[in-house]
Structure 1
Amino acid sequence: MLGLVINGQAAVNDQQLTLLGAGLVTVRAVNPGSPLWLSALADQTFKVLPVESQPQVVIERPKVDGSFSLEIRATAGINLALETTSDFSAWTETQSIVGQGSGNSVKFILQTDPNVQAKFWRVRVR
Structure 2
Amino acid sequence: MEKHRIYSMSVASVYPLYVAKAEKKGRSKAEADEIIAWLTGYDAASLGGQLENNTTFEDFFAQAPRMNPSRSAITGTICGVRVENIEEPTMREIRYLDKLIDELAKGRPMEKILRA
Q: TM bucket by the smaller chain? A: under 0.3
**Largest Rg, 1 or 2:** 1
TM-score by length of 2: 0.23
- Greater per-residue strand proportion: 1
* Higher helix proportion: 2
